Amino acid sequence: MGRVPPNLSITPADALDRQRMGAALIDIREAGERATGMARAAIGVAMGELLDDPARWIPDHTSDVMLICASGRRSLTASKALTELGYVATCSVDGGTTRWRAEHLPMRDPDESAEFLDRYSRHLLLPEVGLVGQRKLRDARVALIGAGGLGSPAALYLAAAGIGHLTLIDNDVVERSNLQRQIVHRDAAIGQLKVESARDTLLALNPDIRIDAVAERVVVNNVDALLSGHDVILDGCDNFATRYLVNDACVRFGLPLIYGAVERFTGQVAVFWSRDDGQPRSCYRCLFPEPPPAAFAPNCAEAGVLGVLPGLIGMLQATEAIKLVLNIGEPLIDCLLRVDVLRMRFDRVVLTRDSDCGTCGDGELSPVHAADVGCEIRSG
């Protein structure tokens, strides 16, 4: 078989002929892109992976190799890079997979439904997510404690991201004063249970996920049953009793707890996760061993809150949840992120485990903590 001049683009039809004669066809798109369908018999290797270690995939520098991407631009760039590395017979398929498909050349079937691939197409382009990561999101179970100011934006973005199973826990009803910041609810839902209002909105956004709407108070007798079986817990409540209960349950189950709080123009986010990795990790009680006096911790109804602030904090919580499910980046474990939106300032505070903590340390709970039985969730 004659050699193809390096860096030359060839038509898909010519590429198919050369493939039948023994030339290798390598699809250098990301895995998520390849999930939409590949040229039949093509080898899937992302461009970065190929160029990082070309000898792994093309051990013979004289091999006839054709590269294909979506449009032909990336494959031409990669072909030139391989030529500079000494490969003498590489070329790019002009028009890429788009033209290959348009000319009705043989293709593999997509790995997922067209709706799935279209809905999450921007995620699939990210190497850190891709098809494998999107499937992880689909398989994940996230519980949100509260469907108010923090739970609203968090739930919307988690549903949009494709978290396959969301559990909403809140026994409150929608009030008109909520609508300034609790964006998952609508004026028509006033008087309706928040979990039912939120479920309707989330399913309208993404009908392919499952929503469990739990209109219950979180109390000592049900907290374990409500939280067990989930992968991540997102705290969107606004009272200390519930937070202590949820924190203690998360420590028992080894679940990550994504904490968020807002007041007036400030907010904060942290991830508490006592993982079994041999590292001493802080929990919520390490940060707040005792609840502050009520005068120093007013809720939104007493102190007020800028409407967009819960949206910012809730989206940060959702971001942390997605990172944890995908196991990417650096989650806010042992770190408190504080936000002041008037000055638009973000500060990070390092947290350490309290060895005397009554939950994750060697201490004992005070009589007040031991008597915590939870209270109504009125989040944000």
> Which residues partner with 232 through β-bridges?
142
Please pick, among 91, 300, 357, 360, the residue that the annotation labels catalytic: 300
Q: DSSP for 288-299, please give it.
A: -SSPPPGGGS--
Distance CA 142, CA 158 (A): 9
Tell me which amino acid residue 181 is: R
Q: Tell me how crowded residue 347 is: count the other CB atoms within 10 A of its CB.
A: 10
User: Catalytic: 69?
Assistant: no
> Which residues partner with 141 through β-bridges?
165
> Which residues partner with 244 through β-bridges?
none
Task: Tell me if 155 sits within 8 A of 166, measured CB to CB.
Answer: yes
What tokens does 271 get?
A: 């991830």
Give start and end residues of each alpha helix (H) in 60-218: 73-84, 96-102, 114-119, 121-124, 130-139, 151-161, 194-205
What tokens does 324 get?
A: 């944890």
Q: Tell me how crowded residue 101 is: count the other CB atoms within 10 A of its CB.
A: 15
What does R_g of the chain's alpha carbons equal in angstroms? 26
Residue 146 burial (C-beta neighbours within 10 Å; 0-12, 13-18, 19+): buried
Distance CA 291, CA 307 (A): 25
- Interior CA angle at 249 toward 244 and 255, to 5°? 115
Which sequence positions are flagged as catalytic? 300
